[in-house]
Amino acid sequence: MNKSISVAVIGASGYTGLELLKILINHPVFTITYVATSEGGVMLDTLHPALKDVLTCHVEKADISQIAACCDLVFLALPHQASMGFVKALLPLGIKVVDLSADYRLERETYEQYYCPHEDAKHLDYAVYGLPELYRDTIKTASLVANPGCYPTAVILGLVPFLPFIDEQFPLFIDAKSGVSGAGKTCSPTTHFIGINENIFAYKVLSHRHEPEIKEKLRLQSGITFDVNFVPHLIPATRGELIDAYMLLKQEIDPIDVLKAYYKDEPFVRIFDAPVNIKSCAGTNFCDVYAQRKGNKLYVNSSVDNILRGSSSQAVANANLMMGLDEALALPTIAYVP
C-alpha cells in the first residue's frame, strides 16, 4: 500500500482545515497534493506555526482547474454557501468531495429555511450524510459526502440506539456544551479570552441550526418527527463537546445494555459505565456514550472532540470509505490526556 491517492484540503486556515492536515500527514494512502485558502499566497507554517518542519508547502488560492489537475478527492473546510460553488464544479470533473460545511447535510426545504437559497439542488439529491455508523454502505459508493455537524454527531450517536423506546409524545431536551474551537478562529468578544475564561453561557437558545439537522436525521432513522429542543453552551475549554439529553421512555429498558448491543461491532463508539467527559476523547475519533434511566426518564450523555469526530477525523473516515479503504486508516484513537 503506497501513498497513491491524491487529496486536497480547501480551507486550510481554520481549525478543521488544520486538523485535516494533521491527520493526513500520517495517512498511509492519501497524499496531500494541494492546500488552499480563499486568499492563498502564504507558506503553510506561517498560517500554522506548529507545522514548522513537519509539513512544508505553499498555500494556494483555491482554483478549480488546479484542483482537478492533481486530486482524486477534495476536503472542503469552508463556510456554508462557499462550499456549493466548489462542489458544483468539482463533481462533474469526477472528483470526489467530502464537504465539512452544512451545504449538503439537509433536505432542501430545511436548508433554505435555516441557511440560504441552495444553488446546487442537483447534487444535493446525491449527497450522503457522512455518519458512518448509520450510512456506512451508502458512503462507500458516494461521490459527495456531507460531513455532519459537530453537535448532531454526538447527539445522534447518543440517541439513535434509543429511538425505538423514546416516548415521542414528549419533547426531547438537549443541553450541549462546546469548547471554544467550535466558535471558530474569528476574533470576537465571545472568543476573547476574557469573555469566556471563568465563564459559561448558553447561546442561540432553541434556535441553533443544528437543531433541525438533529431532528431531520432522527426522523429519517425512525420515521418519527421528534420534538427536539436544543440549547448549546460555550465553555472555557479548547476542544471537546458534551451532550446531556433528557427524554421520556415508553417502556422499561436497561440503557447500558441497549447501548452495548447497538454498538457491539463499532470501533469508534465507546460505551462507559459512568458519565463521560470531554478530556478522555479529545484528540480522537471516538464518540463516548453513557446513559441512565430513572423510572420513565432517560438521560443520555455523549462526548466527542468537536473538531475531530465532530468534523475532521470523521471527514477522513468518510474519505477512507469512499476510496475503498479501511475506515479506520489514520484515524486518531489516542487522547490528548493529560
Site for a copy of itself in 158-187 (CB under 8 A): 170-171, 173, 175, 177, 179-181, 185, 187
Q: Classify each residue of 6-31 as buried b or exposed e, where b means 16 or more C-beta atoms within 10 Å of its C-beta.
A: bbbbbbbbbbbbbbbbbbbeebebbe
Instruction: Quickly count: other Cβ atoms within 10 Å of residue 204's Cβ.
Output: 12
* Binding-site size, a copy of itself (CB under 8 A): 78
Distance between CA atoms of residues 214 and 165, nearest Å: 17
Identify residues 140-159 at the interface with a copy of itself (CB under 8 A).
Answer: none
Distance between CA atoms of residues 149 and 274, nearest Å: 26
- Kindly tell me which residue out of 128, 258, 281, 330 binds a copy of itself, with binding defined by CB under 8 A: 281
Shortest gap between Cβ of 233 and a copy of itself (angstroms)? Answer: 8
Shortest gap between Cβ of 108 and a copy of itself (angstroms)? Answer: 24
Would you state the cell numbers that stand for residue 310, as one nine-digit string? 465532530
- Kindly tell me which residue out of 7, 67, 276, 325 binds a copy of itself, with binding defined by CB under 8 A: 276
- Kindly tell me which residue out of 57, 114, 238, 260 binds a copy of itself, with binding defined by CB under 8 A: 238
Identify residues 30-59 at the interface with a copy of itself (CB under 8 A).
Answer: 48-54
Burial grade of 311 (CB within 10 A; 0-12, 13-18, 19 or more): buried
CB 177 within 8 A of CB 120: no
Q: Which of 70, 71, 116, 150 is catalytic?
A: 150
- Kindly tell me which residue out of 84, 90, 231, 322 binds a copy of itself, with binding defined by CB under 8 A: 231
Of the pair 168, 244, the CB lying nearest a copy of itself is at: 244
User: Quick one: which H or E segment has residue 302?
Assistant: strand 297-304
Shortest gap between Cβ of 267 and a copy of itself (angstroms)? Answer: 8
> Which part of the chain contacts a copy of itself (CB under 8 A), choosing from 141-149, 151-159, 198-206, 310-318?
198-206
Distances in whole angstroms, Cα of residue 197 to Cα of each of 14, 237, 278, 282, 304:
21, 8, 17, 19, 21
Distance between CA atoms of residues 216 and 205, nearest Å: 19
> Which part of the chain contacts a copy of itself (CB under 8 A), choosing from 137-145, 155-163, 201-209, 310-318?
201-209
Shortest gap between Cβ of 61 and a copy of itself (angstroms)? Answer: 21
Q: Is 270 in the site for a copy of itself (CB under 8 A)?
A: yes
Distance between CA atoms of residues 323 and 217, nearest Å: 25
Catalytic residues: 150
